[in-house]
């Protein structure tokens, strides 16, 4: 483990208390540009194969369909993303939060096109993952474009990662019911910057209302000694 990649004790304590941690820009501009090119190539390839599906569907006020596209198992779609899930700048930080024995549950590209990139409602990742053990699932969310309040950055509810909340079926997924969003915090990130969040931290993203795309990669890690609960 590289000391320069480790989180400080205060950062770990902040993650444990708040349920999330906004970290620094970890990837150089040239790396981010290469990731972006690989991302676009994956989107084009999946679309050509008829395998690019929207994970959320909705409509704008004028009836225009909205989409959020997923590059599922992105590490199997491009070598750069396979390298990314093994990058020590990410792994060493995650190890500070849940220990050195790590397993990737899911690596997904989440793409919001200009204007039609829709909302992903409040949810908790652990509602899907259901992993046993004392250590939480940790998700690393990496921005490939500047993520802002206008183009669909992540919002979280701090200090609400103590338990799983009720969810209801909504389209092809689930959404938390009865959410009080008055304490929600927007996590705006620069391209190449990362944030980490606890598997039970409620989070959402709003619509992309800008002329620019919003590309991000979410890599979800678990303690490799734990087991899925079903």
Q: Residue 228 above 70 pLDDT?
A: yes
By C-alpha distance, which of 147, 133, 143, 139 is closest to 201?
139
Rounded Cα distance, 194 and 176, in Å: 25
Min mean pLDDT across 18-32, 55-69, 102-116, 184-198 is at 55-69
Whole-model pTM: value is 0.93
Rounded Cα distance, 208 and 119, in Å: 8
Q: Residue 59 above 60 pLDDT?
A: no
Strand 203-205 and strand 173-176: the pairing is unpaired
**Percent of the chain topping pLDDT 70:** 94
Q: Identify whether the C-beta of residue 208 lies closer than 8 Å to the C-beta of residue 151.
A: yes
Q: Residue 72 above 80 pLDDT?
A: yes
Q: 130-161: per-residue pLDDT in tens?
A: 888 788 999 999 999 999 999 999 999 999 99
Sorting pLDDT into bands at 50, 70 and 90, what band is 124? very high
Quote helix, strand, coil % in the chain, to nearest 5.
25, 35, 40
Q: Residue 172 above 70 pLDDT?
A: no
- Which of 46-60, 167-181, 214-228 is most confident? 214-228
HSE on the CB side for 162, CA within 13 Å? Answer: 4
Q: Residue 61 above 70 pLDDT?
A: no
Rounded Cα distance, 226 and 103, in Å: 9
Q: 19-49: per-residue pLDDT in tens?
A: 999 999 999 999 999 999 999 999 999 888 8
Alpha-carbon distance values, 155 to 20, 50, 132 (Å): 11, 31, 26
Task: Note the pLDDT of residue 62.
Answer: 62
Per the prediction, the chain carries an average pLDDT of 91
């Amino acid at each position: 483990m590289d000391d320069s990649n480790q989180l400080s004790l205060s950062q770990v304590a902040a993650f444990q208390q708040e349920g999330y941690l906004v970290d620094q820009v970890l990837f150089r501009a040239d790396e981010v540009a290469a990731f972006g090119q690989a991302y676009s190539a994956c989107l084009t390839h999946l679309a050509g194969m008829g395998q690019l599906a929207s994970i959320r569907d909705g409509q704008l006020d004028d009836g225009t369909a909205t989409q959020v596209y997923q590059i599922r198992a992105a590490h199997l779609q491009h070598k750069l993303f396979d390298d990314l899930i093994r990058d020590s700048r990410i792994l060493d930080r995650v190890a500070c939060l849940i220990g050195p024995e790590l397993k990737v549950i899911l690596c997904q590209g989440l793409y919001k096109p200009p204007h039609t990139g829709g909302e992903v409602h409040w949810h908790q990742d652990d509602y899907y993952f259901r992993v046993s053990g004392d250590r939480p699932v940790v998700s690393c969310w990496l921005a490939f474009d500047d993520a802002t309040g206008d183009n669909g950055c992540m919002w979280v509810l701090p200090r609400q990662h103590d338990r799983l909340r009720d969810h209801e079926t909504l389209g092809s997924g689930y959404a938390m019911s009865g959410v009080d969003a008055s304490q929600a915090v927007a996590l705006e990130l620069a391209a190449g910057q990362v944030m980490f969040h606890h598997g039970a931290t409620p989070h959402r993203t709003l619509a992309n209302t800008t002329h620019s795309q919003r590309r991000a990669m979410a890599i979800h890690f678990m303690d490799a000694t734990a087991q899925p609960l079903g």
